[in-house]
Structure 1
Amino acid sequence: MNKEKVAFIFPGQASQTPGMGLDLYKNSKAAREVFDEADEILGRKLSSVIFEGSKEELTKTENAQPSIATVSIAAWRAIEEEMGTIQIPNYTAGHSLGEYSSLATAGALSIKETIKLVSIRGELMEKACTDSPGGMSAIIGIDENAVRDVCSQTGTYLSNINTSNQIIISGKKENLINAMDLASRLGAKRAIPLPVGGAFHSALMSSAQNELNDVIDKTNFEDTVVPIVANTDAKPITSKELVRKELKNQLQNCVLWSDSIEFMTDNNVDTFYEIGPGNVLAGMVKRINSDLNVKNISNYNQVLDYVESRN
């Protein structure tokens, strides 16, 4: 790495788009191997869903999660292939699902174990959405304390603190309607339902978390080679014991994304690379601190741009 302090960040669900990663597959042997490995691990042609599937098919949680992780890891492997060396940033972090991609790049999980885990995670979350129906809403324009008051009065949950004034809540749909109405009356500029299948990062995911924890207990983890800033407390972790603990709590707890970015900037990170599909996280980082240098790496040309910038 150059003299600036760098963080790799990895996107979560809702970053998926049909055809994502196809140029990585065509142009990078290392990326192609990731897609092929995902197909082999899952026993189905996930790559066909990613490259050729409909938006509706790709959006299903059991498809979206392994697809996004696969594209993110493929982009990272393409970078390392082009650089000819392992890339070690100062920190890494991922938003919700993206935390699994960050664990793979930080050496805590093998690619095989990552794909297996996120696939199971997606299936369990899909099941929890059926067993405990709910949804998520974005509250924009009021601060965290006000949103906490909304949640306490409406039986909803704080799920993602993305920026100081973009906060995601979750819960049963009738409770969310009441929460959005109350937030609007308290001065929110916008209070809108999100197109997701359930109440992620809330107590309604407890059944999925409990079943996932049985799988996590049987999964082999390693200490990380890069500190990962954890979703649940925005603190750096490196030991495999803390990685395991993080994943066993993540699914039903709030994602402290804004705090995670602020932790890294407080520790002199000034350049963020969003690795994987979309640019949702890049936009969030810029809203948190417009002075930061933020770049996307989601296609092969952006991989080459990264390589040129590092040489």
Structure 2
Amino acid sequence: MGISWRDRSPAAAKVIETADRLLQDQLHRPLSEYIFNNTDAATLSRTDIAQPAIFVTSMACWAGITDLRILQHDQLAVTAGLSLGEYTALTVAGAISFEDALRLVTLRGRAMQDAAEASDGGMVALIGADEATANDVVQATRENDILVAANFNAPGQVVLSGASAAIDRAASYAADEKKLRVAKLDVAGAFHSPLMEPAAERLAQALESTEINLPSVPVLSNVTGAPHEMGSVRHLLVSQLTSSVRWADCCNYIRQTYPDASWTELAPGRTLTGIMRKIDRKIKVQNLAEAPVEAEA
């Protein structure tokens, strides 16, 4: 992921080189090797590897956007990102430096991996469920285990997170009683649930020494679905690890507040472009998973 940006944009390549230098003592090998050298899926999907890899690829793409004259920074109106992507959104808006954000993202990934390995948890997507239906499934199947609605991504796409036994009960109940399509997610643990509390505590300590600047444009919070307010960034980034991700609310806020805005998704992948089709098919998203072939620095 991100190869086209590295190859076509010197600015993007510099972002990746800088990340390799900053993380040289924290990973078993350079981050760029994980990203570009056909790393096996099991290794790259580990959240302690995936989080810095995705963040750096997104930031390389952002650097390449200006380098290749695709979008100027002064055209930016608002930024948002789903879960990990909120760090990209804050960095793009100037609230956190690239160096600090990379440090936080790397710690966040490691802390979440550790919390996942220390608990028995998972996640399941309920296809066709609204918020009320998802909450009904949680209430009916939680029993004495941890189980929460963790992601409200789009109408008809809600993800539950919690203890594995509760996830199994919820999946069966949702399919049999609510007639929903269910899909267990291939993730390390129960993200955005109380099982991530140990990771939240470690992140809170790291954020205490992180400089947070006033962003150049509004940045949406996953926890509230609204822009960060002065002084809210540290608290809400910590809360995000154990709270529901309200991505649909973030997108709806932007739709209503900036009705004429153009939408752009940074690399890697097309996940948010696909989710937008479920939120509002009339909105066209410029997806930059790959650098345009005709682009030249």
TM-score (norm 1): 0.88
Mean CA deviation greater in 293-302 or 54-63: 293-302
Give the aligned residue type for 2:219.
Answer: I
Instruction: Show the counterpart of 2:117.
Output: 130
Matched residue SS, 1:47: helix
Instruction: Show the counterpart of 1:199.
Output: 190
Q: Relative contact order, CA 8 A, sep 6+: which one is greater?
A: 1
Instruction: Show the counterpart of 1:69.
Output: 55
Counterpart CA distance in 1 for 2:187 and 2:74 is 33
Instruction: Show the counterpart of 1:55.
Output: 41
Deviation at 1:302, TM superposition (A): 7.0
Equivalent of residue 236 in structure 2, options 217, 240, 246 = 246
2:181 is the alignment partner of 1:190: yes
Deviation at 1:237, TM superposition (A): 1.9
Kept in 2, the 8 Å contact 1:154–1:179? The answer is: yes
Q: Deviations for 1:25-60, whole angstroms, at most 9, x for unmatched residues?
A: 112111011101111111141001100022222111
Counterpart CA distance in 2 for 1:140 and 1:302 is 36
Deviation at 1:268, TM superposition (A): 3.0
Instruction: Show the counterpart of 2:3.
Output: 22
Deviation at 1:303, TM superposition (A): 9.0
- List gaps (5 residues or longer) in structure 2: none
Structure 1's 271 and 88: CA in aligned 2 closer, same or farther, altered over 3 A? closer
Counterpart CA distance in 2 for 1:80 and 1:190 is 42
Counterpart CA distance in 1 for 2:194 and 2:68 is 43
Counterpart CA distance in 2 for 1:148 and 1:97 is 24
Which structure is higher in strand share? 1
2:284 is the alignment partner of 1:298: no
Equivalent of residue 178 in structure 1, options 162, 169, 175 = 169
Matched residue SS, 2:123: strand
- List gaps (5 residues or longer) in structure 1: 1-19
Instruction: Show the counterpart of 1:16.
Output: none
Counterpart CA distance in 2 for 1:290 and 1:109 is 32
Counterpart CA distance in 1 for 2:151 and 2:293 is 28
Q: In the TM superposition, what are the counterparts of 1:274-289 in structure 2 within 5 Å?
A: 274-289=265-280
Equivalent of residue 204 in structure 2, options 196, 200, 213 = 213
Structure 1's 299 and 199: CA in aligned 2 closer, same or farther, altered over 3 A? same
Counterpart CA distance in 2 for 1:303 and 1:78 is 13
Give the aligned residue type for 1:82.
Answer: L
Q: Deviations for 1:230-277, whole angstroms, at most 9, x for unmatched residues?
A: 1001111253x2112221211100000111111111113342111121
Provide the aligned length of Structure 1 versus Structure 2: 286
Structure 1 runs (4+) greater than 4 angstroms displaced: none
Q: In the TM superposition, what are the counterparts of 1:48-197 in structure 2 within 5 Å?
A: 48-52=33-37, 53-83=39-69, 85-155=72-142, 156-197=147-188
Instruction: Show the counterpart of 1:12.
Output: none
Q: Deviations for 1:199-252, whole angstroms, at most 9, x for unmatched residues?
A: 00000000100111000111111110010111001111253x211222121110
Give the aligned residue type for 1:136.
Answer: M
Give the aligned residue type for 2:41.
Answer: K
Counterpart CA distance in 2 for 1:142 and 1:300 is 35
Mean CA deviation greater in 229-238 or 119-128: 229-238
Give the aligned residue type for 2:17.
Answer: D
Give the aligned residue type for 2:54.
Answer: I
2:16 is the alignment partner of 1:35: yes
Matched residue SS, 1:91: coil
Structure 1's 302 and 214: CA in aligned 2 closer, same or farther, altered over 3 A? farther
Matched residue SS, 1:236: coil
Counterpart CA distance in 1 for 2:248 and 2:79 is 14
Kept in 1, the 8 Å contact 2:8–2:295? The answer is: no
Counterpart CA distance in 2 for 1:277 and 1:87 is 23
Counterpart CA distance in 2 for 1:219 and 1:144 is 35
Structure 1's 164 and 188: CA in aligned 2 closer, same or farther, altered over 3 A? farther
Matched residue SS, 1:237: coil
TM-score (norm 2): 0.92
